[in-house]
Amino acid sequence: MSDETKSTRPLYRILSWVITLLTPVALVLAAVRLMLTPAFLPIEYNMPGFPADPYGFTKEDRLYWSRIASDYLLNSADISFLGDLRFEDGTPVYNERELKHMVDVKIAIQWTLIVWYISLGMLIALSLWAWKAGWLDDYRVGLSRGGFLTAALLVVILLFVLLSFGVLFVAFHDVFFEPGTWMFNYSDTLIRLFPERFWQDIFIYVGSIAISSGLAIGFGLRKKV
């Protein structure tokens, strides 16, 4: 081993752990991004046992209005994109409290995607560096370790979802939004479109996807004995 290689080994080991920590971020947020694709909504609304809207939305109504809400979260439009919406009788689809929350959600989604892009960009940049500088083994070990870390963290969260989703749901919203601003009447459009079952399923989907991908990376890239 050359003197240059010996001097850079500690750096590569540190970078390997950076990769380990970046991996859960990239995998979990990739799963979150999948939940924002057009294909997700019809899958969710057609799940067995998904609760009907007691105030009259049909499945088709939910698909129509939820797609517009999903589009708003990913486009560059201001809140008038939702604020100008009206039902057939002329009443607004969303009240002011709901519109304010959707602005907050859009900001949170935009920052989430930025974090995802940064984590992916760093992993790609580090992979190129590892390839050119000859520390691919350290990169692979870091990625494998990150896959197992992702699976372990998400198993814990999924257990929490199954055992006490209400507590987790409140804690999640209080972290990302001002307390109380995300609570609505059952008759409000947001609750009618996205009842608690919707969010519980999202946690389960994100957790399952992240666990599966984490284990695939962990076992697929683990260091051979």
Confidence of residue 9 (pLDDT cuts 50, 70, 90): confident
State the pLDDT at residue 67: 97
Confidence of residue 7 (pLDDT cuts 50, 70, 90): low
Instruction: Please provide residue 86's backbone torsions phi and psi, each rounded to the nearest 5 degrees.
Output: -135, 145
State the pLDDT at residue 188: 97
pTM here is: 0.90
Task: Please report, for the chain, the start and end positions of each structural domain, with discontinuous segments joined by +.
Answer: 10-221
Dihedral over Cα of 34, 173, 156, 124: its sign: positive
Query: pLDDT tens-digit profile of 21-35?
Result: 999 999 999 999 999
The one-letter amino acid at 206: V
Task: Identify the helix (H) or strand (E) that includes residue 152.
Answer: helix 136-176
Mean pLDDT, the chain, whole residue set = 92
Query: pLDDT tens-digit profile of 138-160?
Result: 999 999 999 999 999 999 999 98
Q: How far apart are CA 36 and CA 43, in angstroms?
A: 12
